[in-house]
Amino acid sequence: MDNNIIKIDEENLKNDLKGVVRKTIEETLNTMLDEEAAELCNAERHERTDERRNYRSGHYHRKLLTSAGEVDLSVPKLRLAPFETAIIERYRRRESSVEESLIEMYLAGVSVRRVEDVTELLWGSRVSASTVSNLNQKVYGKIEEWRNRAIGGEYPYVFVDGIYLKRSWGGEMTSVSVLVAIGVSEDGYREILGACEGASESKECWRSFLVSLRERGLNGVRLFTSDKHLGFLESASEVFPGAKWQRCTVHFFRNLMSKIPRNKLASAMPLLKATYAQEDKEATLKKVADVEQKLCDMGLKSAADLYRKGVMETLTYLDFPHEHWRSIRTNNILERLNREIRRRTRVVGCFPDGESALMLVCARLRHIATKEWGAKRYLNMKHLYEMEKENELKREQEKDGNVA
C-alpha cells in the first residue's frame, strides 16, 4: 500500500520553485534591458540601418537583490553614450520592495544583526549594518518632515512625558531626554503631536517644546496629563494658560509606595485605589478625607502627609466626562509607547553624536501610530462637548438669576 503513496519533499519543491521564479525574473529583466538598448540605438543588434543612433559595446554584469533572490543582470554598454536604463536605477543593488522591507524591519524594532540574518534567510544575500544605516537615512528626511508638520483642529486632551536615552557625546556617554506629546483630537483619535530632543526636562526644554507645538497649530487644549515635572508645569501655565493639569495617578501611587513599608502594602494599596473608584466627584472628595485618616490610623504618617499634599493634583479628571475618567487620569498611553521605544533602543545601546536618537524615537512613534493605532477611535468626544454645553447653559442661567 505504501508503494502507491506519492511522497513530496516540500523543502526541495520550494527551493525548485524559488529557483524557477528567480530564473524567470532574471531572463525577463535581461530581455527588457536588451530591448531598451535596441530602442536607444534605434536598431537591433547587428542590424545595419541609416537610422542607427548608437552602437553596442558588449555587456557588464551586476547583481540585483529581489524578493525571489539574487539575480544576475547583463547590462548593455553603448559606445557613444552611457546606457541609462529606466528599468533599474544606476548603482541600485536591491529591488525597491526589498529596501522597503529592510527599513520596515528596522523601524519595527528588529536589531541590525537580526536584519542581516533575516535577509540571508529570505533572499539568500546578507546585507551589512552600513547598508541598513544608509537606507534609514532615506526615511529620516520624511520623519523630520512628519515631526514638524502642521497641526490642525482641536486636541482637548494632551499627554506628555520624557524618556531618557544614552548617547555618546565627545567621546563620553551622556543622557539625552526626548520629550513626547500625544493628543486626542476633537474626533476622538490619538495622534503623535510631536517629539523633540533636549539635554534635560528643564523648564527651558519644556517651554521650547510647548511653544513649537503651539506655533505648529496646537489649540483647544483642555487638559494636560503628565507626571509632576516642575519644568513642564511652569511652562504649560505660560504657553497654554487655559489648560488644566492632571497628575498621573500611577506615578503618584509609585511615590506613595516608597513611603509605605513592604509589610503594609497589601492593606494600604486597596485603600488608596478606593480613592479613584468612586462614582462622582462628591463621593471622591469624601473618600479622600477617609483614606487620609485611615493611613494615619495605620501608623503611615509620611504616606498620609504625601497623600494629603498631592491627591488633589490627581483628581482634576473629575471635572471631565465620567466616560473619559479611566483614560485621562493616567499617562498609560505614553508609558506604553515608552516601553516600545526602550525595547527598540535597548538593541541600539548607546547612540552616536547627532540626532539619531531623536530620529529613531520618532520613527518608532510614527510606526506605532500608523500600524497599531490606525483608525481606532480612542474616546467618544461627544461626551465632552455635551458636558461643556451643559456647563455653559448653567453659567448663563446663574448670570441671568444674578441680574434679576
Q: Taking all residues of the chain, what is their mean pLDDT, rounded to a whole number?
A: 79
Q: How confident is the model at residue 127 (pLDDT cuts 50, 70, 90)?
A: low
C-beta neighbour count of 169 within 10 angstroms:
16
Distance of CA 284 to the CA centre of its chain: 36
Query: 301-316 in b/e burial notation, b at 16+ Cβ within 10 A?
Result: eebbebbeeebeebbb
% the chain with pLDDT above 70:
72
- pLDDT tens digit sequence for 183-214: 999 999 999 998 888 767 788 889 999 999 99
Alpha helix ranges (H) inside 148-280: 203-215, 230-239, 249-257, 265-273
User: How far is residue 293's CA from residue 290's CA, in Å, rounded to a whole number?
Assistant: 5
Higher pLDDT, 261 or 166: 261
Amino acid at 231: G
The phi-psi region of residue 246 (left if phi > 0; otherwise alpha if psi is between -120 and 50; otherwise beta) is beta
Grid coordinates in use for 212? 513649537
Q: What is the pLDDT of residue 26?
A: 73
Most confident of 39-43, 138-142, 281-285: 281-285
92 CB-side CA count, 13 A: 18
Higher pLDDT, 372 or 163: 163
Instruction: Say if CB 197 and CB 147 are below 8 A apart.
Output: no
Q: What is the mean pLDDT of residues 292-298?
A: 90
Cα distances from 34 to residues 49, 59, 78, 106, in angstroms, run 18, 10, 11, 36
Q: How confident is the model at residue 60 (pLDDT cuts 50, 70, 90)?
A: confident
- pLDDT tens digit sequence for 152-195: 889 999 999 888 776 656 566 677 788 899 999 999 999 999 88
The answer, yes or no, to whether residue 224 has pLDDT greater than 90, is: yes
Among 31, 79, 86, 82, residue whose Cα is nearest residue 52 = 79
Higher pLDDT, 288 or 105: 288
Q: What is the pLDDT of residue 351?
A: 55
Cα pseudo-dihedral 398, 401, 402, 404, rounded to 10: 160
pTM above 0.75, yes or no: no
Q: What is the DSSP string of 47-107?
A: ---TT----EEEEEEEEEEETTEEEEEEEEEESSS----SSS-TT--B-HHHHHHHHHHHH
The answer, yes or no, to whether residue 312 has pLDDT greater than 90, is: yes
Cα distances from 111 to residues 164, 344, 367, 388, in angstroms, run 20, 8, 16, 48
